[in-house]
Chains A and B, each alone.
Chain A
């Protein structure tokens, strides 16, 4: 087997959502050789996800066209980071093992910017493993990618502005949205709506809070059905409600994707995100972070942070500093989001029954897990967190349900083909390696 020459770049950016795109464009004028790696089929991340019938906003199109225009930016879509490789040069920020549908290799980079975004917090409730249950943002993403929901009755539940965005996307796609069941109180919703005037770009969201299908102080109790979703039971204040439906979209805000950063040794900061200083530097030299992986705060903040990180990585400290005021403005918006959509963990932790699976990869039930004392204990005794999602779903759920702190993956970030690991000279973990 022939080995390829090590792939090298000056700046490696992981993630091509708003933050990653902004970072690449900010750094591009410096002439650095930039590689952007993203596991989605096309740049845009979740909020600017493209698909059939999707009308991308002008800013998204500008960023995509910008990436294509610069000869020194290479975008590798459909490519995942599966683990850490051996650094060829000690001065490099990182060497990452990458894999796409057909091959794997190690990418060496002098500088690294992590724009790994966030994933939905998905919490278990009885019946949540039935086909027809998705995340709220998950439903939006699937619809944008062509999922036909015309005529389907959908209930959207959980917490956060993403519920309203998902409801809007579903309605435009011809679905019948029966309910938006928002976990937080009417008081918090009203206070949030009133504040939106401080951020005119966000004020358009306020009227959507008045739709008759919206219910505050409400959450899913159970998904009902034999082989797929047929109905949902909701708690509304002190009453319960049952609605027949085809889909339940339930998400509880966003959790920063910090696994790769933690594997590289970066420290966590506020809101479970990667810690960054005023120059978007992480605690590891040569590694920057921007966007939702530093803590959820919305796409405008991600764009500013991305641009700052790009300038900083390119050695343009003044250009990065010039964006501080914009960042402060959108940080205030992030604060408002977190303040008005708090998670009432005690309510949500009471939802799963003993036989409700918390770990969907390994089918580990709540009744088994709650007897364990921490994440490591659970992992060793039940295989929770050892499946294909590497604990991204169940680890975040366990943090809410049991108060456990998930540990970063030790070897592999994602299931990988044996050939990728053999080429990289990495050590495959038995649980994570797959063969094709």
Chain B
């Protein structure tokens, strides 16, 4: 029996999701397959690609602020929402 992993609870849209402490926001988004993050300028849903903060495909709103999901560690009570802003850089 492995020791219990501490969990954190975050809000994804309307739902509450529990993930192991130290998880990135991508792990939360993936609990709602296929883990979409943002709408592209032509209206395509995107999801994380590079996993290391380069491609910016995982732009989401975290506590109302635009952040990269792969570079953001979950904290209890954090609110995550997919980004429906369709411009590349401005929210």
Contacts and interface: CB of A to CB of B under 8 A. Distances in A.
Contacts of A140: 51
- What class of interface size applies to chain B in its complex with A? 35 or more
A305 interface: no
Interface residues of B, dominant DSSP = loop
Given A52-B20, A434-B89, A436-B66, A415 B56 contact: yes
Given A134-B48, A134-B49, A119 B54 contact: yes
A131 B34 contact: yes
A386 interface: yes
A291 to B, nearest CB: 14
A363 B57 CA distance: 12
Contacts of B64: 436
Nearest to A365: B42
B22 A51 contact: yes
A135 interface: yes
Nearest to A135: B50
A385 to B, nearest CB: 11
A137 to B, nearest CB: 7
**Secondary structure class of chain A's binding surface, majority of residues:** loop
Contacts of A432: 89
B88 A147 contact: no
Contacts of A145: 22-24, 26-27, 51, 70
B51 A137 contact: yes
Contacts of A148: 27, 30-31
Interface string A385-427: 0111100110000000000000000000001000000000000
Contacts of B20: 52-53, 146
Interface string B30-64: 11011110001110111111111111110100001
Given A101-B67, A393-B54, A387 B27 contact: no
Contacts of B45: 131, 227
A369 interface: no
A431 interface: yes
A132 interface: yes
A434 B56 CA distance: 13
A235 interface: no
B65 A101 contact: yes
Interface stretch (A38-46, A179-187, A339-347): A38-46
B22 A146 contact: yes
A431 B88 CA distance: 9
A433 B90 CA distance: 7
A42 B23 CA distance: 12
Contacts of A374: none
A134 to B, nearest CB: 6
A301 B42 CA distance: 43
A90 interface: no
Contacts of B33: 228
B19 interface: yes
A132 B34 contact: yes
Contacts of A130: 47
Nearest to A117: B52
Contacts of A363: 40-42, 44
A386 B51 contact: no
For A40, A52, A387, the residue with the greatest tally of chain B CB atoms inside 10 Å of its CB is A52
20 contacts: A39-B71, A40-B53, A52-B19, A78-B71, A101-B65, A120-B52, A129-B40, A131-B45, A140-B51, A141-B51, A142-B70, A146-B27, A146-B74, A147-B30, A228-B47, A363-B41, A388-B56, A392-B55, A434-B89, A435-B91
Interface of A: 39-42, 46, 50-53, 78, 80, 101, 119-120, 122, 129-135, 137-142, 145-148, 227-229, 360-363, 386-389, 392-393, 415, 431-436
Given A138-B48, A387-B89, A389-B56, 12 more contacts: A40-B53, A50-B22, A52-B22, A101-B72, A131-B46, A135-B50, A141-B51, A147-B24, A360-B46, A360-B57, A389-B54, A389-B55
Q: 3 tightest A-B contacts by CB?
A: A146-B23, A131-B47, A141-B51
